[in-house]
Amino acid sequence: MLGRQPKRFFKKRRVPVRDKVPEPWAANPLMRYVEAFLDWSAVHGFRPQGVNLRGKALKRFVAWADERSLTQLTDITLPILERYQAYLFHYQQPNGKPLSFTSQQLLLVPLRGFFKWAARERHMLYNPASELMLPRKTRTLPRYVLSIDQVDSLLRETDITHPAGIRDRAMLEVLYATAVRRTEMAHLRLPDWNRNAGTLRVHEGKGGKDRVVPLGERAEAWLTKYVDDVRPQLVIDDTDYTLFITDYGEPFSKNRLGDLVRRYLDWAGITVPGSCHLLRHACATHMLENGADIRFIQVLLGHADINSTQIYTQVSINKLKEIHAATHPGRLSHRRAAAPADADARQALLAALQAEGEDE
């Protein structure tokens, strides 16, 4: 059955941008150093996204410091930073939940970089964050992993009789085949696709690193159909080489891409949280279950550390169950085959098993 026809994305009505009232902490003298540090970060090759994240974390700290009348770099000591760390630990979000240790770490790491810079630039006599101990970053298992049947159901929801449906099918296929992140997907350009080699080049993925990933036959077939037959109908600016564009000829933002995938998940009756990352998890897990070496999955996912990839060895419970059933000596078929034929021997075996249980 063909899926629902995709709804067009409507542009939001443009409204005049009003001048925002500056926050009280924006006048804190610490902000002068923060702005200088962010400029230094940009000059030394940090990506705009990384500079933006640093800025948000540091401005949050300045706001906290301003409430406590801390206005000079010399006011900041290790005990002050530890108080801020304790504040983050006890902070309650609007939904009533605390910040995860990962979120706390993301807010504290920029502080260490900032004060290291301040000490090196002689704005401070010493670095108060040099001995700040960060919270341990926990590695949590993906809560939900789509099955192969669920992925097939998701793909079938696209209306391939409609140009937008062909584009969406190509996008879903590429997400599932390559395990790219949604930001990486949004930044793909036409020259990144090597038709002869059947690969995609992912520019400046997480950590600013490039990688080349295979497409696979099915994903490449749908991408070919989209690029040859559909994209020319959608493109407005011939100088824009963004690979996937909306109904209005604009590049997909990461949020719009996430909303599109979430809509198809809902139509497929898949109500678990998440969107694009579900397909990334599914790709890695399904490949592992089919025998792929974890080192190849590490390259596909763009993980610098194989420890980040090894989480999928824990996710792949189906493969573990299959191997356990085939190899564990306690399996039922093995027990039956090894069971003595006469009743006395069977009784002796049961007694021995019972004794083992009592010993434990």
The percent of residues above 90 in pLDDT, for the chain, comes to 46
pLDDT at 355: 54
* Domain assignment of residue 301, yes or no: yes
pLDDT at 353: 54
Residue 353's H or E segment, with its range, is helix 343-359
Query: Which structure tokens are listed for 207?
Result: 């950590």
Q: For residue 36, name the pLDDT band (cuts at 50, 70, 90).
A: very high
The answer to whether 181 is a known catalytic residue is yes
Q: What is the DSSP string of 299-324?
A: HHHT-SSHHHHTHHHHH-HHHHHHHH
**pLDDT for residue 9 is more than 50:** no
**pLDDT for residue 348 is more than 70:** no
**pLDDT for residue 230 is more than 80:** yes
Instruction: Give the span between the Cα atoms of 189 and 240, in whole angstroms.
Output: 9
Instruction: Give the span between the Cα atoms of 25 and 65, in whole angstroms.
Output: 8
* Domain assignment of residue 168, yes or no: yes
Domain boundary among 120, 138, 169: 120
Segment 124-136 shows an average pLDDT of 91
Longest C-alpha distance within the chain, in Å?
A: 91
Q: For residue 3, name the pLDDT band (cuts at 50, 70, 90).
A: very low
Cβ atoms of residues 310 and 294 within 8 Å? yes
Catalytic, out of 162, 203, 277, 319 = 277
User: Do residues 73 and 169 share a domain?
Assistant: no
Q: Which of 89-103, 149-163, 175-189, 313-327 shows the lowest per-residue confidence on average (mean pLDDT)?
A: 313-327
Question: At 98, which CATH number?
Answer: 1.10.150
Q: Could you tell me which of 201, 220, 221, 222 has the C-alpha nearest to residue 211? A: 201
Catalytic, out of 181, 182, 231, 286 = 181
User: Do residues 191 and 109 share a domain?
Assistant: no
The answer to whether 206 is a known catalytic residue is yes
Q: What is the DSSP string of 221-277?
A: HHHHHIIIIIHHHH---TT--BSSB-TTSPBPPHHHHHHHHHHHHHHTT--SS-SHH
Segment 120-135 shows an average pLDDT of 93
User: Do residues 177 and 213 share a domain?
Assistant: yes
User: Do residues 300 and 192 share a domain?
Assistant: yes
Catalytic, out of 84, 176, 264, 312 = 312
Q: For residue 105, name the pLDDT band (cuts at 50, 70, 90).
A: very high
DSSP SS3 for 216:
coil
Catalytic, out of 156, 206, 211, 225 = 206
* Domain assignment of residue 207, yes or no: yes
Domain boundary among 103, 120, 137: 120
User: Do residues 199 and 110 share a domain?
Assistant: no
Segment 264-289, tens digit of pLDDT: 999 999 998 888 889 988 888 888 88
The answer to whether 123 is a known catalytic residue is no
Segment 125-151 shows an average pLDDT of 84
Segment 292-336, tens digit of pLDDT: 777 788 878 877 665 666 666 555 556 666 666 777 666 655 444
Instruction: Give the span between the Cα atoms of 210 and 128, in whole angstroms.
Output: 35
User: Do residues 40 and 103 share a domain?
Assistant: yes
User: Do residues 50 and 199 share a domain?
Assistant: no
* Domain assignment of residue 38, yes or no: yes
* Domain assignment of residue 153, yes or no: yes
**pLDDT for residue 22 is more than 80:** no
The answer to whether 280 is a known catalytic residue is yes
pLDDT at 142: 64
pLDDT at 287: 85
* Domain assignment of residue 132, yes or no: no
* Domain assignment of residue 96, yes or no: yes
Phi/psi-derived region of residue 205, left when phi > 0, alpha when psi is between -120 and 50, beta in every other case = beta
User: Do residues 262 and 167 share a domain?
Assistant: yes
pLDDT at 299: 79
Secondary-structure breakdown of the chain: helix, strand, coil percentages, each rounded to the nearest 5: 55, 5, 40
Instruction: Give the span between the Cα atoms of 122 and 86, in whole angstroms.
Output: 28
User: Do residues 234 and 308 share a domain?
Assistant: yes
Catalytic, out of 167, 187, 280, 286 = 280
pLDDT at 311: 62
The answer to whether 144 is a known catalytic residue is no
**pLDDT for residue 221 is more than 90:** yes
167 by Cβ neighbours in 10 Å (0-12 / 13-18 / 19+) ranks as: buried
User: Do residues 106 and 166 share a domain?
Assistant: no
pLDDT at 188: 92
pLDDT at 20: 58
User: Do residues 162 and 287 share a domain?
Assistant: yes
In the chain, the amino acid numbered 178 is: T
| Domain coverage including residue 85 | 24-120
Q: Which of 30-34, 50-54, 250-254, 327-331 shows the lowest per-residue confidence on average (mean pLDDT)?
A: 327-331
User: Do residues 98 and 191 share a domain?
Assistant: no
Q: What is the DSSP string of 98-111?
A: BPPHHHHHHHHHHH
Question: At 292, which CATH number?
Answer: 1.10.443.10
pLDDT at 335: 47
Count of domains in the chain?
2
* Domain assignment of residue 352, yes or no: no
